[in-house]
Amino acid sequence: MKKGASRFFFRMLIAGFGAACVSVLAACAIGPAPLSLKEAARALAEFLGVAHMEIDRTALIVVGEMRLPRALLAFFCGAGLSMAGVVFQGLLQNPLADPFTLGVSGGAAFGASLALTLGLPSYLTIGGVSVGVLSLCALAGALLSLVVVLFLGRTGGGWRRETLVLAGIVVSSFLSALISLVKSLNEESVAGIVFWIMGSFQGRGWEEFWLFFPWWVVGAAVMFAASRELDILLLGDIQAGRLGVRVTRVRLALLAAASLMTGACVAVTGIIGFVGLIVPHFVRLMQGTAHRRLLPISAVCGGLLLLWADILARMILPGGAELPVGVITAMLGGPFFCLALGRRSRIAP
Amino acid sequence: MIMLACQNLEAGYSGKSVLRDIHLSVRAGEMAGLLGPNGSGKSTLLLCLSGALQPLRGSVSLEGVLLSRFGAKERAQKIACVPQRPAYIPNLTVRELVFMGRYPYLSPFAAYTDEDARIVDKAMRETKVLEFAHRYLTELSGGELQRAFLACAFAQRTDVLLLDEATAGLDLARSVELFTLLRKRVTAAQDSGNASVRQCVVAAIHDLNLAALFCDRLIFLKQGRIVADGPTQSVFTRDTLEDIYETGVTVFKHPVAGRPQMLLSPKA
């Protein structure tokens, strides 16, 4: 479109991609039993099979089986939650909307924790295709709580931004209580409950990554495919229809995609709040609302944010103990939410 | 040739009808003003004519084909509508908004072409928004925003153009400019005698004198029914206006334009 804007966009994207690669490398090096960047790079190369290196086996396992999948999971979860935030904000024309404030994360966490408590298998093979049951339960929970929130938050034929978020918080708190109850009745430790309510990447590996990633791809594909329609829907349903958008179909597809994305993230990590709130607002400030550019840049920035938040969560406590990464995003997100609450026109969708 | 036609149209919201017994046809080359008091159903009629609202009874057709038979994009290539000032103004630039007018011509996963860009530029030039093409909609004045939406409608390259209170928020000069522009589109179609040019405009207008000055045909709505419909000279009369607006008026001939104009003359 505009030459300058598009050049800026590509520079941002390339810079973001570079930063992501460096950050993943850093995430592989940092931790208890720290490695130098060079050692981490050698271990990565060996693990990915790009080059054959003489390398210490412990380092190889630490990097390849523990830190790399965790870093990738953090990056793609951050990207997914940011994109889901972008979509929710755009569809609801509400700068306060994000998977967490709308209660979608809470619903997904409840669905997933219920599935685990009931002892459902995480995979089910139907006709040779394995389906992630855990992710499906999280998706069902996410969709269900979204429906409830949209229903509760409806005032006079529309959704006022504060009312909608209020409904989201109510549903979220209620579901958190339910999660705690279900987990307690099942005689699980407090740590297990905290994991769901204040999400964490602790101990996550390749298994969780592959449980999550296919859904991520599906959700992201739908969102990107509908990015033009997202712009037009900002004009309201009537005008969007007059411009040739099949409003109901596009809306349902996008809400489902954003819920799916949230469900997939939450099923493997628990509730990580506010990522989808902070990131899109900053990106809009830099380069406007056009979703064709907003979605990819938000994805990269969200990935970087959550990746570094996770690195911080691993390092901040002395003695190798970990902080749930949700604590860090909530500490960033709370003040930011207040900022967004005061009407700042440029950060609205 | 008849472009838009309503037959026995009844329309409304959640089963309650707002419009009743609407028979209407708009021909190519016509510029029709849609008038009536607040709540008379002007916006509802425009919703039906643009296909955004399904009629409860009766039909709306475009060039003899039922409007509901058209696909969403196909319809948007034929009918454009300039909305009332929207409740929510998105954080997009003027240019991004005007490009949305090319969406009906875009196949899935395709990108806009140079041809689209050329049409968008032309639409922005015609509506004089080109100089602030890169400003955000949230930073515009009411009049500038209105023109940006008009540019979007122009970029749709449609035969039928509907306007909902398009002069609300425009000052005098801008209102006249807008209507002169619309007239030019329509009369260019009339004069060329080219059968492929089939422009027509239906504009809901609040300002009676502006409507009488620029429209060849006026359609008066009251309480959801058409109460007068015809050439401006014959329907813009004291009796009709007093009946519809329930207040005293004086109608006189414009000394220069020769068209009827009105003044309020409240009965003491």
Residue A250: domain span: 3-347
CB A61 within 8 A of CB A47: no
Closest CA to A201 of A317, A334, A113, A322: A322
Per-residue pLDDT, A1:
47
The answer to whether B72 contacts A245, with C-beta atoms less than 8 Å apart, is yes
Alpha carbon of residue A261 to chain centroid:
7
Read off the DSSP letter of residue B67.
G
The answer to whether B136 contacts A232, with C-beta atoms less than 8 Å apart, is no
Q: How far is residue B32 from each of residues A97, B68, B154, B212, B218, measured CA to CA in Å? A: 43, 23, 18, 10, 6
Q: Which residues of A touch B83 (CB under 8 A)?
A: 235-236, 238-239, 242
Per-residue pLDDT, A3:
56
Q: How many CB pairs under 8 A join A and B?
A: 87
Q: Hey, is the C-beta of A160 within 8 angstroms of any chain B C-beta?
A: no
Read off the DSSP letter of residue A177.
H
Strand B57-62 with B79-82, pairing: unpaired
The answer to whether B95 contacts A225, with C-beta atoms less than 8 Å apart, is no
Q: Hey, is the C-beta of A345 within 8 angstroms of any chain B C-beta?
A: yes
Q: Hey, is the C-beta of B80 within 8 angstroms of any chain A C-beta?
A: yes
Among the partner residues B76, B93, B95, nearest to A242 by beta-carbon distance: B76
Read off the DSSP letter of residue B53.
S
**Helix orientation angle between A68-92 and A3-29, rounded to the nearest 10 degrees:** 140
- Would you give per-residue pLDDT tens digits along chain B (268 residues)? 889 999 999 999 888 889 999 999 999 889 999 999 988 999 999 999 999 999 999 999 999 999 999 999 999 999 999 998 887 888 899 999 999 999 999 988 788 999 999 999 999 998 889 999 999 998 898 888 988 999 999 999 999 999 998 777 778 888 898 899 888 888 876 665 555 567 899 999 989 999 999 999 999 999 999 999 999 999 999 999 999 998 899 999 999 988 999 999 887 6
Dist. CA B228–CA B231, nearest whole Å: 10
Closest CA to B150 of B132, B124, B170: B124
Dist. CA B233–CA B229, nearest whole Å: 11
DSSP helix, strand, coil percent of chain A (3-state; round to 5): 75, 5, 20
Q: Which runs of consecutive H residues, i.e. helices, occur in chain B?
A: 42-49, 72-76, 94-99, 114-126, 142-155, 172-192, 208-214, 232-235, 238-245
Beta bridge mates, B201: B31, B161
Q: How far is residue A59 from each of residues A205, B108, B190, measured CA to CA in Å? A: 16, 48, 81
Strand B200-204 with B160-164, pairing: parallel
Beta bridge mates, B231: B217
**Helix orientation angle between A68-92 and A291-315, rounded to the nearest 10 degrees:** 140
Among the partner residues A1, A242, A348, nearest to B50 by beta-carbon distance: A242
- Would you give per-residue pLDDT tens digits along chain A (349 residues)? 445 667 888 888 899 999 999 999 899 888 877 888 888 888 888 888 877 777 778 888 888 888 999 999 999 999 999 999 999 999 988 888 889 889 999 999 998 888 888 877 766 666 666 667 777 888 899 999 999 998 888 876 667 777 888 899 899 999 988 888 888 887 766 666 777 778 888 888 898 898 889 999 999 999 999 999 999 999 988 999 999 999 989 999 999 999 999 999 998 888 898 899 889 988 888 878 899 999 999 999 999 999 999 999 988 887 778 888 988 998 888 888 777 777 555 567 7
Closest CA to A163 of A101, A87, A107: A101
Q: Hey, is the C-beta of B113 within 8 angstroms of any chain A C-beta?
A: no
CB atoms within 10 A of CB B261: 17
Within 8 A by CB and 6+ apart from A17, the residues are A300
Closest CA to B153 of B186, B127, B116, B114: B127
Domain count, chain A: 1
What CATH number is given to the structural domain containing A254?
1.10.3470.10
The answer to whether B103 contacts A346, with C-beta atoms less than 8 Å apart, is no
Among the partner residues B52, B86, B152, nearest to A241 by beta-carbon distance: B52
Among the partner residues A1, A93, A225, nearest to B88 by beta-carbon distance: A93
Residue of B nearest to A89 (CA): B90
Q: Hey, is the C-beta of A1 within 8 angstroms of any chain B C-beta?
A: yes
Q: Which of residues 46-75 of B touch A (CB under 8 A)?
A: 47, 50-52, 72-75
Q: Hey, is the C-beta of A149 within 8 angstroms of any chain B C-beta?
A: no
Place of tokens 């995003």: A329
Place of tokens 């522009």: B181
The answer to whether B92 contacts A234, with C-beta atoms less than 8 Å apart, is yes
Q: How far is residue A142 from each of residues A106, A204, B214, measured CA to CA in Å? A: 7, 22, 55
Give the domains, in start order, of chain B with CATH numbers. 2-228 (3.40.50.300)
ipTM of the complex: 0.91
Q: Hey, is the C-beta of A290 within 8 angstroms of any chain B C-beta?
A: yes
Predicted TM-score (pTM) of this structure: 0.89
CB B53 within 8 A of CB A214: no
Dist. CA B39–CA B45, nearest whole Å: 11
**Min distance A70 CA to chain B CA atoms (Å):** 33
What type of residue is A134?
A: L
Alpha carbon of residue A328 to chain centroid:
14
CB A261 within 8 A of CB A298: no
Q: Hey, is the C-beta of B156 within 8 angstroms of any chain A C-beta?
A: yes
Dist. CA A91–CA A106, nearest whole Å: 20
